[in-house]
Amino acid sequence: MAKVLTSRSENYAQWYNDLVIKADLAENSAVRGCMVIKPYGFAIWEKIQSQLDKMFKATGHVNAYFPVFIPKSFFSREAEHVEGFAKECAVVTHYRLKQNPEGEGLVVDPDAKLEEELIVRPTSETIIWNTYRNWVQSYRDLPLLINQWANVVRWEMRTRLFLRTAEFLWQEGHTAHATREEAIEETMKILDVYTTFAEKYLAIPVIKGIKSESEKFAGAVNTYCIEALMQDGKALQAGTSHFLGQNFARAFDVKFTSKSGKQEFVWATSWGVSTRLMGALIMAHSDDKGLVLPPRLAPVQVVIIPIYKSEEEYRSTVEKAHQIKDTLLEHQIEVKVDDRDTQKPGWKFAEYELKGVPVRLAIGPRDLTNNTIEVVRRDTLEKKSHPVTSIVEHVQFLLEDIQKRIYEKALLFRESHTFEAHSWDEFTALIEKGGFVSAFWDGDPETERLIKEKTKATIRLIPLENTDQTGTCIFSGKPANQKVIFARAY
């Protein structure tokens, strides 16, 4: 089989793009900056969505759906919020087309101008808090623990499949609480849910922390996040959880009568992850042969490929393959038999390596005689023959072992690419090298801006596990009381 992918060492960005397209995950659409998520890519997203949805519901959340259109006036009610999203908003101004009176085709009907322009949802805080005003009257109505699965539009100028597109899929949670303490507890609870999901299912180690003032969500009091490190040494924000204080409650007059009979504004949170997680999944684990999928999120965990030369061998190997498939299915293992006679086994091997199927089984005439089956694990490409009689137990072991080992590999990579900088020269050299760089920062937004301007590195987070410590800012030389994590990022 001819070379399919550009190598990571040759051109990482091209490798990523090749892999997304050639593994049938997604492709660019006719709409500028938007993507078509193909069935295989969407099957992975469905796995992500299904698992997260279970985790949200286990913590008491329910799903709802809110409009994709938001009245423009809603955005002006929370000044910081509108400033943060104004440059990315797509705006609907008219509601009808008509035949072009001067030629062929359609034109916007100038008589069909909307009374108020509508923003295509970039995020839903404003429309949801306008709705919550009607839902909340008393402390008995709280907390509201609501999530929605939706699409959003942010008119990005530079796009990349999954990582940054004009339209993308996500979930966004929006909760309302009677007290500040309850809202903060919710913010941290969801951060822990995201951390568990990233590490146990995506097999990606993450660092939890709080964003700097300039990096936080527009309209939030505090933004908490999880950050992951990709194989090219760039950081990727894998999830955010925002403590909104009473900002949106005040903007939309969402009040409740407390147990003491007083009228008070509710306390709010919002939180979300998106199809950007698909990008994280690809870049954290995959290699020059293709995807390496964590078994817990793989649409196909095991593929069985019959090996044959004659029609008789085809029938016998396919029959045995389906018997093994049925046995694996009984143990909740997601398995597929590729018994197509239109492609040779070697082509199929390369195809399933490209698509990252965790375990590949191959069975030929000699295996039928010996009651064995060839087993290949995708993460290491190790190949062994195994008795059919114990294949279920072996596959179960492999799926768990692959999940564990690709996490450990990613963790080892992160640990070997996390550095401490004690001077500006050391800092700039390490940033060029790639990875997480821990360094003292004086807390001044101007210092942060200048560091970004000079190095393209941003403060990814202030780690939650930071201990009290003092030092000297690597840029300004001023006293500093906190170390932060810098990196170049997606």
pLDDT at residue 465, as a whole number: 87
The CA angle 157-161-283, to the nearest 5 degrees, is 125
Structural tokens at position 102: 């001067």
Spatial contact of 170 and 273, defined as CB atoms under 8 Å apart: yes
Q: Are 367 and 374 in contact (CB under 8 A)?
A: yes
What number of other Cβ atoms are within 10 A of residue 403's Cβ? Answer: 21
Q: How far apart are CA 475 and CA 449, in angstroms?
A: 11
| 38-43 LR contacts (CB < 8 Å, sep 24+) | 40/299, 40/355, 41/278, 43/299
Rounded distance between C-alpha atoms, residue 306 and residue 314, angstroms: 7
The helix (run of H) or strand (run of E) holding residue 127 is helix 125-135
How confident is the model over 53-77, as pLDDT tens digits?
999 999 999 999 999 999 999 988 9
490 close to 235: Cβ distance less than 8 angstroms: yes
Q: How far apart are CA 147 and CA 141, in angstroms?
A: 17
Proportion of the chain above pLDDT 90, given as a percent: 94
Check whether 358 has a pLDDT greater than 50. yes
Q: At what angle do helices 391-416 and 276-285 cross, to 10 degrees?
A: 90
Q: Cβ distance 446 to 212 under 8 Å?
A: no
DSSP helix/strand/coil, 1: coil
CB-based contact 76:128 (threshold 8 Å): no
Residues 6+ apart with CB under 8 A from 129: 174, 248, 249, 251, 252, 254, 268
What's the pLDDT tens digit per position in 370-391?
Answer: 999 999 999 999 999 999 999 9
Return phi, psi of residue 211, to 5°.
-80, 150
Q: Which residues pair with 77 in a beta bridge?
A: none
Tens of pLDDT, residue by residue over 437-479, are 999 999 999 999 999 999 999 999 999 988 778 999 999 999 9
For residue 27, the one-letter residue type is E
| Tokens representing residue 109 in the block | 């009907």
Give me the percent of the chain exceeding a pLDDT of 70. 99
pTM: 0.96
Q: How confident is the model at residue 1 (pLDDT cuts 50, 70, 90)?
A: very low
Closest CA to 183 of 100, 227, 262, 241: 241
User: Which letter does DSSP use for residue 301 in this model?
Assistant: S
User: Cα torsion for 401, 406, 407, 409, to the nearest 10°?
Assistant: 120
State the DSSP H helix or E strand holding residue 279, giving kind and residue range, or none if neither: helix 276-285
Q: Could you read off the pLDDT of 97-106 as tens digits, one per residue?
A: 999 988 889 9
> What's phi and psi for 4, nearest 5 deg?
-100, -45
CA distances from 471 to 64, 452, 462, 474, 485 (A): 48, 21, 15, 9, 15
DSSP state of 260: T
- CA separation, residue 180 to residues 223, 243, 437 (Å): 15, 9, 33
Query: Positive or negative, the Cα torsion across 4, 414, 238, 211?
Result: negative
Predicted confidence (pLDDT) per residue in 79-92, tens digit: 788 788 889 999 99
What was the pLDDT predicted at 3? 60
Question: All domains of the chain, ordered by start, with CATH?
Answer: 12-66+130-285 (3.30.930.10), 300-397 (3.40.50.800), 418-487 (3.30.110.30)
